[in-house]
Structure 1
Amino acid sequence: MTVYSYTARAADGQKVHGSIEAESPPAAARMIMERGASVLSIEERRVFHFPRILRLRSGITAEECIAFLQELSVLLAVGIPVHCALERLLAGEHGTSMGRVIRTLHRAVMHGMSLSQAMSMQRQVFSSVLVGMVRAGEESGALDVVLRAAASFLTEVHRTREAVRSALLYPCFLLAATLLVLALMTVFVLPIFAVLLADLHTALPLPTRLLLAVSAQMSAAPAQTILVGGTILTAVGLVLRVPSVRFLWDRFLLHLPILGDLVSFGTWQMILRILAILLHSGIRLDRAVALACTVTGNRVLERRLQHVERCLIEGHSLTQILSDEPYLPPLLRGMLAAGEEAGELEHILPQAADYCGRRAEAIGQRAAALAEPIMIVFVAGVIFFAVLSFLLPIFDAMDAMM
């Protein structure tokens, strides 16, 4: 018997966490459902969980995941049951990484789990956002429609991510090349230069002393230097996983110029797109907001959405709740209020999401345009510092000789 940790939603709508002993994940899920709860996620309990930054990737690309959703939606749309559709998809993915994922899904579904429950066991492949959308499709009886919308949504997100990555490729390459050259100079050139400076018997300026100290440390103990650097990066990653620290970091990001607007509009685009899909699938607004909480990736906005959910359950209108929402752009506030008053919220949400997408794209292009000159100035500053460190002691020695 294996112990599994799980997250479930009780009959009253509250999330519950716990552990259960069972022979397999499907058996554990059945035991949880017998208690009247809906399984959100389940995984084998381990003594120690490596942080996400150290986990191996699943090997599944975004294109493969999108293709899987599109093909599955087509099969379900023509009336093929989920387990049969997965079996047909498995035949075309034999021996691939995606094929192994589909085989796991098919086995779980055949053991009585729903598709969303099976996907929640593959969190390294399917995000909590996607699992929530699939669960909404199952609840509304329009799983094929939701899968098709999810594929379109993921395609849009992937396209935006690739555009940002392409825009930042040159600045990142420039930064990496500069740091590499600086490291090579520090390790190989500065030790020779230090011997020459010692023969001059002159006081070294501060920039030169700093570079020589770094060079001595890297030359004397390169493995120790790399280990210390890796330890610092790992420590930063672990600290950012602390909820209170992550909340402060996310709030700091939202208040940054340009980048804060990019994060805000990009996140609201995903939230509104998810809400549009869920409402179209027949999910109640409060339930849709609860599911959309998993899409944010930002603890501040997630907490604000949880506040919206509580107010909706208490009977407040969306217009009243959003009237004092500090992190919602004013134009979006007006669009959503107008949509609710006209009873067309389901139709106004895609338009609001499109608006956020256009704003995020425009801000991203402006940020990418600013990144290049900023990186050039930074690289120039690094080169100037290095050259100054070389030349200042030579100038001082020449002055002393004269």
Structure 2
Amino acid sequence: MPFFSYKGRNNKGELVKGVLEGPDRSAIAKQVFNLGITPVEILPGSAPSPESNLSINLFQESIELVDVMMFCRQMYTLLKAGIPIMSALNVQLTSIRNKAFVEVISEVRASLDSGHELSAALNQHPKVFNSFYISMIRVGETTGMLDRVFLRLVDYLEFEKFMREQIKAALRYPTFVMAAMVVAIVVINLFVIPAFAKVFANMGAALPLMTRVLLGFSDFMVTSWPYLLVGIVVAGLLFRAHVTSINGKYQWDSFKLKIPIAGAIIHKASMARFARTFALSSKSGVPIMSTLTLVAQTVDNDFIAHKVEQMRQGVERGETILRTATNAGIFNSLVLQMIAVGEESGALDDLMEEIADMYQRDVEYEIKTLGARVEPIMIIFLGVLVLILALGIFLPIWDLGRASLHKT
């Protein structure tokens, strides 16, 4: 998504500048409002410079999620002990080992020295602290419960780290299996079948249709592999450019949810992230409209984010959460019943947390049983591959052997 630079005024009337990522100016304006800033100017911009954020080079460490998580945990401990925020940041500077993160915290501290609020200072580093993080800090500043907000952010980041690892684990095994099969097909067509082609040429007999197809495909790969390689690279670059565009990412995220086996895991992980973010925002006192906006920004799937945005628009028109969730079509009947109970009882945040736990358990179960479900597919695919090779390669050899026996 494109970047936009903005200027605005906070509740103290101070001029605040920053860079945010979003689909258009209206989305950026909503993000800026959620930060407690009244936008004055929003212009197309570029990604934040490496000097002020995550530096992408070979000689500097990257800032990982675990670094931010440890920062939140230590800030909670220090603030709860009554240590002023400036002193807490000084302590952080002496304990953080990641040099890139030390640079970020130094700039945050300098921004606080110049009179900015903590949320505005953190907002200058959107690659490290996302809009949800900034909004939660803003809530902590206005309610005077900044230490509790840091503790809730620790829980959220731990959950986020767990879900990312689970999704990677879910996709790792199928990806490895498919890559191994592709390599096997390439090796067979480039090295194995050409060796048999010489034998068949000396036979001088009519070959079966399957054999002719295999020989033709193998000959095509042998003579055209440089062009195939270039085509694969170009297709990969075009695909990457497509999925990084707004429409392309939406289509790709929608397709990922339809992938057999893995799609269900991705959907449940996104739903768990939705429910966890909703519960955390609601318990922290974020208004329902802002909560849904934040959820749409943190589900990490543009298709589901679009559905959540439709929910927000429905609530804005006066519809209930249950009605908008039903119309979204991304929740099962059990979750809809829990939402209905939570909305009637006024404990929607607690039930959303229960929904998040339920989806998290489902994801864990799906990961544990992933191998058992993928193995039959592997066996069937390998069986078909062996059958094709047997019919196309070994059948003519068996026919030749039988003919030789009849001649003797």
TM range, smaller chain: 0.7 to 0.9
CA shift for structure 1 position 348: 2.4
State whether structure 2 residue 313 is matched by structure 1 residue 305.
no
State whether structure 2 residue 19 is matched by structure 1 residue 17.
no
- On the 8 A contact 2:8/2:39 being kept in 1, the answer is yes
Residue in structure 2 matched with residue 49 of structure 1 by the alignment: none
State whether structure 2 residue 277 is matched by structure 1 residue 269.
no
Quickly say closer, same or farther: Cα 1:63–1:195, change in 2 above 3 A. Answer: same
Residue in structure 1 matched with residue 46 of structure 2 by the alignment: 44
Quickly say closer, same or farther: Cα 1:393–1:61, change in 2 above 3 A. Answer: farther
- On the 8 A contact 2:131/2:294 being kept in 1, the answer is no
Q: Give CA deviations for 1:240-278 in whole Å, capped at 9, x if unaligned.
A: 334344434444444566555433332222112111111
From 336, 341, 345, the equivalent of 1:338 is 341
In structure 2, stretches of 5+ residues that fail to align are 11-21, 27-31, 49-55
CA shift for structure 1 position 119: 4.5
Distance in 2 (alpha carbons) for counterparts of 1:125 and 1:204: 63
- On the 8 A contact 1:69/1:151 being kept in 2, the answer is yes
From 257, 269, 283, the equivalent of 1:280 is 283
Distance in 2 (alpha carbons) for counterparts of 1:132 and 1:202: 76
Quickly say closer, same or farther: Cα 1:279–1:380, change in 2 above 3 A. Answer: same
Quickly say closer, same or farther: Cα 1:200–1:107, change in 2 above 3 A. Answer: farther
Q: Give CA deviations for 1:310-362 in whole Å, capped at 9, x if unaligned.
A: 23233333244335442222222222222222222233221222222223333
Residue in structure 2 matched with residue 66 of structure 1 by the alignment: 69
Residue in structure 1 matched with residue 5 of structure 2 by the alignment: 6
Distance in 1 (alpha carbons) for counterparts of 2:190 and 2:4: 49
Quickly say closer, same or farther: Cα 1:285–1:389, change in 2 above 3 A. Answer: same
Quickly say closer, same or farther: Cα 1:37–1:168, change in 2 above 3 A. Answer: closer
Residue in structure 1 matched with residue 79 of structure 2 by the alignment: 76
Give the letter aligned to residue 37 of structure 1.
P
SS at match of 1:240: helix
Distance in 2 (alpha carbons) for counterparts of 1:222 and 1:259: 31
Percent identity over the alignment is 25
State whether structure 2 residue 198 is matched by structure 1 residue 195.
yes
- On the 8 A contact 1:202/1:393 being kept in 2, the answer is no
Residue in structure 2 matched with residue 151 of structure 1 by the alignment: 154
SS at match of 1:37: strand
CA shift for structure 1 position 171: 5.1
Residue in structure 1 matched with residue 51 of structure 2 by the alignment: none
Residue in structure 2 matched with residue 23 of structure 1 by the alignment: none
From 184, 197, 202, the equivalent of 2:187 is 184
SS at match of 2:244: coil
Aligned residues: 377
Quickly say closer, same or farther: Cα 1:143–1:213, change in 2 above 3 A. Answer: farther
From 78, 89, 94, the equivalent of 1:91 is 94
Backbone CA RMSD of aligned residues: 4.1
- On the 8 A contact 1:77/1:144 being kept in 2, the answer is yes
Counterpart mapping for 1:130-169 below 5 A: 130-163=133-166, 165-166=168-169
SS at match of 2:63: coil
Distance in 2 (alpha carbons) for counterparts of 1:128 and 1:345: 23
- On the 8 A contact 1:247/1:299 being kept in 2, the answer is yes
Give the letter aligned to residue 319 of structure 2.
H
State whether structure 2 residue 290 is matched by structure 1 residue 291.
no
Q: Please give the TM-score of this superposition, normalised by the length of structure 1.
A: 0.75
Give the letter aligned to residue 184 of structure 1.
V
CA shift for structure 1 position 37: 1.7
Distance in 2 (alpha carbons) for counterparts of 1:291 and 1:269: 14
Q: Please give the TM-score of this superposition, normalised by the length of structure 2.
A: 0.74
Which range moves more in the overlay, 341-350 or 256-265? Answer: 256-265
Which range moves more in the overlay, 141-150 or 166-175? Answer: 166-175
Give the letter aligned to residue 159 of structure 1.
F
- On the 8 A contact 1:10/1:16 being kept in 2, the answer is no
Counterpart mapping for 1:169-248 below 5 A: 172-205=175-208, 207-213=210-216, 215-216=218-219, 218-220=221-223, 222-248=225-251
SS at match of 2:25: strand
Distance in 2 (alpha carbons) for counterparts of 1:87 and 1:309: 40
- On the 8 A contact 1:42/1:121 being kept in 2, the answer is no
Distance in 1 (alpha carbons) for counterparts of 2:221 and 2:260: 37
Quickly say closer, same or farther: Cα 1:207–1:160, change in 2 above 3 A. Answer: farther
